Amino acid sequence: MKVLITGASGYIGRNLIPFFVSKGHDVIGISRNPDKILKIDGARYSKLDGGDSSWKSEIDDNTAIVNLAGESIFGLRWTKSKKKRILESRTSVSNTVFDTVGESDAYVVQISAVGFYPNNTSEALNEDSSGGSSFLPEVCRSGRTEHYREEEEHPFLGLV
């Protein structure tokens, strides 16, 4: 299977690449900053946006896309402009991925953080629980573009 990983230079993406390569998959790491990707033998790399869109022609019915891309939430104070970049990066990448997939049978896995859930509750939370109302839940929701619908086959996972 061909596995495309957006956000390949991030914490999770850079660990998924060697995992999928070791399982014999054809892996393409995709990043806004491909120079920051730790390159490993057996994988190919592409730039998410800009002049290089070669990854888009790689999508076929035997493709899985793991969408991890987005502006980092770590390191800098969350100013209004930083929050805007965080939100827009998730929406724009999700739109690009789903627009590129189109009508193919490629499988998309959207991944976000567990920050979706409120952290000030003593109740047990699960996938049926309501999300929080602060900035992190908004970030998690932002990847759910108009392309994503709960009844479709594309899971939206919360990790880390």
Output the average pLDDT for the chain: 81
Kindly report, residue by residue over 84-93, the tens digit of the pLDDT: 988 888 888 8
Distance, CA of 138 to CA of 118 (rounded, Å): 11
pLDDT value at position 99? 83
Higher pLDDT, 113 or 123: 123
The answer on pLDDT for 151 being more than 50 is no
Residue 125 CB coordination number (10 Å): 15
Domains of the chain: 2-159 (3.40.50.720)
| HEC-encoded secondary structure of 40-96 | CCCEEEEECCCCCCHHHHHCCCCEEEEECCCCCCCCCCCCHHHHHHHHHHHHHHHHH
pTM, to two decimals: 0.80
Q: Mean pLDDT over residues 9-26, rounded?
A: 93
